[in-house]
Amino acid sequence: MLKFKGSLKISGDKSISHRALILSAMSTGKARITNLLESEDVMSTLSILKELGIKIIKDGNNWIVFGNGTGGFIEPKKPLDCGNSGTTARLMIGAVSSNPINCTFVGDNSLSKRSMSRVTKHLEDIGAIVHLTKKDYLPLIISGSEKLLPIKHNILKASAQIKSALIIAALNIHGKTKIIENIATRDHTERLLKFLNVKFKIKKTNKKTSQIELNGPYEFKAKNIDIAGDPSSASFFIVGALILPKSKITLKDVMLNPSRTAFIKVLKSMGGKIKLKKTKQICGEDVGNITAEYSKLKGINIPANQSAYLIDEYPILSIAASQAKGKTIMKGLDELRHKESDRIQSILFNLKKVGIEVYEENSNLHIFGKKIKLNKNVKIKSFGDHRIAMSFSILNMLYDNKLKIDNKKCINISYPDFTKHLNYLL
């Protein structure tokens, strides 16, 4: 049987790669970005910034961005193509909203089925003019303005993308913008802004609620940005090491932001032998090494209040659950229906194909772990979703490549080096 062994440096974090490009474009001066994730999603953001008049060039393994300031975007000559990337669409809509330009945003079939009104309703409240297809979807046309209103936004649906879009818009708004988060989400935008010496306030109003206050417009100087390894990408190999007998791996220079390592706590509570060692800080983010080795996992309950921190890791956690002893219940997965695929259905469909007992009830997923021997090939449907394709590629290691995944190309959306790194650890 195959096993994982050795050490690996994980590719750059996807969330920070998007934000590094956008905030460098909105700074003044030249920024050198190291370890940028060159995935299809991130390249969509890079291409759109070029269409908006930002000079970006590749220099060896680095990317150099020449910032035009917070109000420096020019009107594009053609529609801005976000590809499959919800992060690109939502953050860039926020970025252009406070510039006096007209932009049309388009995306692929999958992205064109994902809600954009959750961001645009906030932007319309402050004076941007937005036309959405069927009042919710791409393509959309937005007319931005330098005279957007500084108001208080109350974000009811936990979303780092909504929060980041409003923060980025506020960088070029005159006056105080307040953003209230009722459930804390990933804070990469805030950490990167602090690293770039942008002054803003964060107040904890109670245990759950916090308020971000920005007093714009801002002008900030470009700084070189080094991007740490992506913990969501690391999660596939961590689970692989936990379920493949005799495996032990170390993943180096991985970002250890607490809002991104909740999946490690979950795996540890399932009995996973995982060790974290912080080694340094890069551009406001804690970074370190993760060691994982084969473990006998047990089923657990994962409460709904963890869902905002596990949104990208549920597919690979479902693979861990399928190999654990007993039942795992994942609660409050409503948001999974609005990702690259309906991930609840994608997980259900494929685990059933493998022979795992699984059912869904009120957006809660019940998975009964079982060691199964496959005597024949099984077709796995990725639904064009990169995280589904990668998750079942890891399970495939247990089944001697008997799982035939229909579309591995979609993996390039977030992790073009996935297959190379997988083979390196075998």
> Who's near 261: CB < 8 A, 6+ residues apart?
231, 276
> Who's near 231: CB < 8 A, 6+ residues apart?
13, 254, 255, 256, 257, 260, 261, 263
Taking a C-beta distance cutoff of 8 angstroms, is the pair 18, 47 a contact?
no
Taking a C-beta distance cutoff of 8 angstroms, is the pair 359, 321 a contact?
no
> Who's near 386: CB < 8 A, 6+ residues apart?
340, 410, 411, 412, 413, 414, 415
Q: Could you give the CA distance from residue 203 to residue 334 in angstroms, rounded to a whole number?
A: 29
Q: Could you give the CA distance from residue 40 to residue 84 in angstroms, rounded to a whole number?
A: 8
Q: Could you give the CA distance from residue 147 to residue 160 in angstroms, rounded to a whole number?
A: 25
Determine the angle formed by the axes of helices 14-25 and 86-97, rounding to 10 degrees: 20
* 68 beta partners: 28
Q: Known catalytic residues?
A: 312
- Count the Cβ atoms, other than its own, within 10 Å of residue 186: 22
- Residues in the chain, overall count: 426
